[in-house]
Amino acid sequence: MTTNILISGFGGQGVLFTGKFLAYEGLLENKEVTWLPSYGPEMRGGTANCAVIISDEPIGSPLVTYPDVLIAMNLPSLDKFEKDIVPGGMVFYDSSLIDRKVTRSDIKVFPIPATKMASDAGFPTLANMIVLGKLLKETAMFPAETIDKTIAKVVSARKQNLVELNKKAIQLGLEL
Amino acid sequence: MGDKVLMKGNEALAEAAIMAGCRHYFGYPITPQTEVAAYLAKRMPLVDGTFLQAESEIAAINMVIGVASAGKRVMTSSSSPGISLKSEGLSYLAGCDLPALVINVQRGGPGLGGIQPSQSDYFHATRGAGHGDFHMLVLAPASVQEMASLVFKGFDLADKYRMTTMILADGTIGQMMEPVSLDMGEVKHYDKPWAVTGTKGERTHNIVNSLSLLPEELEQWNFKRYERYAEIEKNEALYESFLTEDADIVIVAFGVAARVARNAIVAARAKGIKAGLIRPITLWPFPKSALKEAAKTAKAFVSVELSMGQMIEDIELAIRCTRPVLLCNRAGGMIPTPEEVLAKIEKADRIGGEN
């Protein structure tokens, strides 16, 4: 089983961090994992994305051309990658920032008003973790009890004070 | 698996250098290798090492020559345009028979080019790293694990043969994260009686130098160096095979191209085409005998490259053009898709032995 995930949004929306979380989950579950960021000038204020592959087999190409799962945190990301999702795949998108509907009918669609929910909950920068929570619930890729362990691992040492907030944000997504 | 950590290729490479006993790094920032310098800027002071951001790539490689002359393990890193600047120093390192590790995390060229991944410095690394008759050992990592393990091996080979080892990586392998084990084993130590470390009045002084105005002498230096190269070509070629035993179509690819090729080979097998992969790990010495062996049973070869077709010449030479070799390539920072590689495999399968 191989899951190709593409996460895309504005630089600063935690796109790379979300990917890192999934990669660490994979590592802790003894899966094969790759995480590949887009790099270069597009990261300064423009759209950033990262490709995460989680597999039971050794991974060949770390590039994701046709994602099984897409997270779109802004409209340009949905516009760019919607057509590439494999039939039967999933898209999770921030419906507080994206005001159009997904046009594909052969994929599972999960609109999440993540930015609004994050603001209302008092942690406006953690919309990505709410979307992540929903993704973890719908894909059931990882056992729920590993989430706390992964958070502690993936949040850097100097930001450990944010661990609890991240957990809360993921919980909001899990409950959706 | 328990001891694996997630690291970027560039960071794993930098940590492995420290584990290999490298305590001197000289560099200059350039995308997509800047994480090497950034990581060592933090890490070197903690192990009493020297991290120095030089005023230019040329200055950095000359500092490498200095430390290498003193017999210490030393490293510099850059990306394609910066490696061009180091070319003079690479030739001097060879002329002085000095061990050093030089990292090239390639990006698209020529000129300033772009910043996306490329393999178009293959010729530079394997043929023309500078003026004069010389080779570097060239290692091509295809995973974050190999970014670490080949740095370890690279230092070892450099010391063993008194040569520069170049790690020829690309932007993808440098930037990506994968689980990596940093259990690198023991560091082998080599006596360096030639090093300029001060005589303490106890011996005649050593000279590290590439200049000889006596052609008879300079010729002998070259002959001796090439005897060493012949030994390396015999003993040090490394490659990995994937499904080659019964392969009609043999892909040859290194670095990220080999990983893309692997997907295409699995897809080709599902369609009933017997495809396999030979992945050179050493680009110099090139694993000629493995290719020669494969040519006995394969119908055709496909070279997958992020360049206009450079390694394809080594493939044709290795098999003495006894089989057709097709090129599947992208350039300028683009990467072939598995679908593109598969299409080329299917074409190779159709034409079979016809060139």
- pLDDT tens for each residue of B258-288: 999 999 999 999 999 999 999 999 999 999 9
pLDDT at B351: 86
| Cα separations in angstroms, A11 against A45, A64, A96, B330 | 5, 19, 17, 28
Residue A24 forms contact with B (CB below 8 Å): yes
Of B116, B175, B337, the CB nearest to A65: B337
Query: H-type helices in B171-286, by residue range?
Result: 171-175, 215-235, 255-270
pLDDT at A43: 53
Does position B14 have pLDDT exceeding 60, yes or no?
yes
pLDDT at B87: 97
**CATH 3.30.360.10 matches B240-351:** no
A38-97: pLDDT as tens digits: 876 655 567 889 999 999 999 999 999 999 999 999 999 999 999 999 999 999 999 999
Q: A-B interface: how many C-beta pairs under 8 angstroms? A: 64
Look at B176 and A23 and tell me if their CB atoms are within 8 Å.
no
A31: confidence class by pLDDT, cuts 50, 70, 90? very high
Chain position carrying tokens 């060229």: B109
Look at B261 and A60 and tell me if their CB atoms are within 8 Å.
yes
d(CA B253, CA B239): 10
pLDDT at B1: 41
Look at A34 and B116 and tell me if their CB atoms are within 8 Å.
no
d(CA B300, CA B290): 15
The DSSP output letter for A14 is S
d(CA A91, CA A83): 11
Mean pLDDT of chain B: 96
CATH code: domain A2-174 is 3.40.920.10
- Nearest CA of chain A to the CA of B262: how many Å? 5
Query: Which positions 111-170 of A are in contact with B (Cβ < 8 Å)?
Result: none
B216-270: pLDDT as tens digits: 999 999 999 999 999 999 999 999 999 999 999 999 999 999 999 999 999 999 9
Q: Are B77 and B27 within 8 A, CB to CB?
A: yes
Of A36, A41, A59, the CB nearest to B175: A36
Kindly list the residues from chain B whose CB atom is less than 8 angstroms away from the CB atom of residue A58. 262
Among A29, A39, A52, A55, the residue to mutate for chain B (most B Cβ within 10 A): A39
- Nearest CA of chain B to the CA of A34: how many Å? 5
Kindly list the residues from chain A whose CB atom is less than 8 angstroms away from the CB atom of residue B176. 34-37, 62
Among B3, B6, B8, the residue to mutate for chain A (most A Cβ within 10 A): B6
Kindly list the residues from chain B whose CB atom is less than 8 angstroms away from the CB atom of residue A61. 256, 259-260, 262-263, 338
| Domain definitions of chain B by residue range | 5-190+222-235, 240-351
The H or E element containing residue A72 is strand A69-72
Kindly list the residues from chain B whose CB atom is less than 8 angstroms away from the CB atom of residue A42. none
pLDDT at B2: 47
Identify the closest residue of chain B to A38 by CA–CA distance.
B175
Crossing angle for the helix pair A114-121 and A127-139, to the nearest 10 degrees: 120
- DSSP calls for B259-315: HHHHHHHHHHHHTT--EEEEEESEEES--HHHHHHHHTT-SEEEEEESSSSSHHHHH
> Under an 8 Å CB criterion, which residues of B touch A?
1, 4-6, 31-32, 115-116, 171-172, 175-179, 256, 259-263, 266, 335, 337-339
Look at A39 and B256 and tell me if their CB atoms are within 8 Å.
no
pLDDT at A155: 85
- Domain B5-190+222-235: which topology? Rossmann fold (3.40.50)
B103-118: pLDDT as tens digits: 999 999 999 999 999 9
> What are the strands of the beta sheet with B74-78, ordered from one edge?
B50-53, B24-27, B74-78, B100-106, B164-170, B137-139, B282-284
- Nearest CA of chain A to the CA of B281: how many Å? 16
Look at B260 and A61 and tell me if their CB atoms are within 8 Å.
yes
